[in-house]
Amino acid sequence: MSRGASEDLVAKLGDYERSDLPERTKAALRLADRLTGAEPTVDETFYEALRRHFSDDQILDLGMTISFASGWQRFIEAFGIVPDRWRDGLPPPFHALQPRD
């Protein structure tokens, strides 16, 4: 793959804490888990753990990006937004992977 995540990387995300992903990547994923959970919190201890891998500006950028993506997804789900091609009755992407009736 020239762009995007490899299948190997995606497979590691399900249990990233036990994976061989770099500690910096795990720290970013921990932040994503914290910010997208039911009660998002970043206490002083967690913030200091993040600072071992990221500058303050990087933490801000990463947190804003995570929050934007999560919020956008929640907005899409809340309003039932789907691509026009799905609404128009065309098959969704990867329809070949879906079970047939």
Question: Rounded to an integer, what distance in angstroms lies between the CA atom of residue 59 and that of residue 17?
Answer: 20
HSE toward the beta carbon, residue 26, CA cutoff 13 A: 13
Give mean pLDDT, residues 10-21: 92
15-27: burial string, b at 16+ Cβ within 10 Å, e else: ebeebeeeeeebb
Q: Is residue 1 part of a domain?
A: no
Query: For the chain, what percent of residues have pLDDT higher than 70?
Result: 82
Whole-structure pTM over 0.85, yes or no? no
Q: Is residue 2 part of a domain?
A: no
Residue 98 — very low, low, confident or very high, per pLDDT cuts 50/70/90?
A: low
Q: Is residue 76 part of a domain?
A: yes
Q: Is residue 92 part of a domain?
A: yes
Q: Is residue 88 part of a domain?
A: yes
Count up the domains in the chain and report the number. 1
Query: For the chain, what percent of residues have pLDDT higher than 90?
Result: 55
pLDDT digits (tens, 9 = 90+) for 30-88: 999 999 988 999 999 999 999 999 999 999 999 999 999 999 998 988 888 877 766 77
Per the structure, the complete domain to which residue 40 belongs is given by 7-97
Q: Is residue 26 part of a domain?
A: yes
Q: Is residue 54 part of a domain?
A: yes
Q: Is residue 50 part of a domain?
A: yes
